[in-house]
Structure 1
Amino acid sequence: MTEKELNVLLVCGTGASSGFMAANMRKAAKKAGLTIKIQARSESQLEDMIDDVDYLLVGPHLSYKEAELQATADAHQVKMGIIPQTIYGTLNGKAALEFMQAL
């Protein structure tokens, strides 16, 4: 990780479940001393926000849109990953951060 604050966008269908994941990721980032801004939004808001993010993390239930989301991320030079169900389903913020860092 660099000294620059990283901007992370988590998207899901409505932004509700990703909100819980984002909160847990913020707690894990703070505990690890990382400077990361993590927001949770509906997938429908992606186009409005993509220019301001470094990482796009996607709820596993949107994996059917992976190619479309990856194309958008690539066009904006944003690293993207579908959060594994084993991490998302347990809202494991620490594991989600580790997943993001490995992208």
Structure 2
Amino acid sequence: MKTIMLVCSAGMSTSLLVTKMEKAAEAEGMEAKIFAVAEAEADKHLDEIDVLLLGPQVRFLEGNMKKKLEPKGIPLGVINSVDYGMMKGDKVLDQAKDLMK
């Protein structure tokens, strides 16, 4: 079971993307807990995740989050803005899996 956290400015815009990622994970038989939080809530969940994906609108958090996650060995990425905008759950799931390799 892998835990994937998405972070966006309010936690709302990524909720549809989470649903699409869950469907993609289910289709390929991957057990994953995928959830989205607002940037203000992200720090509360850092000890329970395997990978963190930032929405394109909060990419400015990347440096700060990297400092917090690197000592824990947790990978971090910024979701491709086209995949995000088109809500391509399968592509974003692939990105998360690549980061966890």
Give the superposed CA RMSD.
Answer: 0.9
> Are positions 1:20 and 2:16 aligned together?
yes
Q: Percent identity?
A: 28
The answer for the alignment partner of 2:31 in structure 1 is 35
Structure 2 gap segments, 5+ residues each: none
Where has structure 1 moved over 3 Å in runs of 4 or more?
Answer: none
Q: TM-score, normalised by structure 2?
A: 0.93
- Between the two proteins, the alignment pairs up a number of residues equal to 99
1:78 matched to 2:48 = no
Which runs of 5 or more residues in structure 1 are unaligned?
A: none
Deviations 1:39-83 (A, max 9, x none): 111111111111000010110111122111111221322111000
Q: Which residue matches 1:94?
A: 90
Is 1:55 the counterpart of 2:46? The answer is no
Cα distance in 1 between the residues matched to 2:6 and 2:90: 15
Residue range with higher mean Cα deviation, 66-75 or 52-61: 66-75
TM normalised by structure 1 equals 0.91
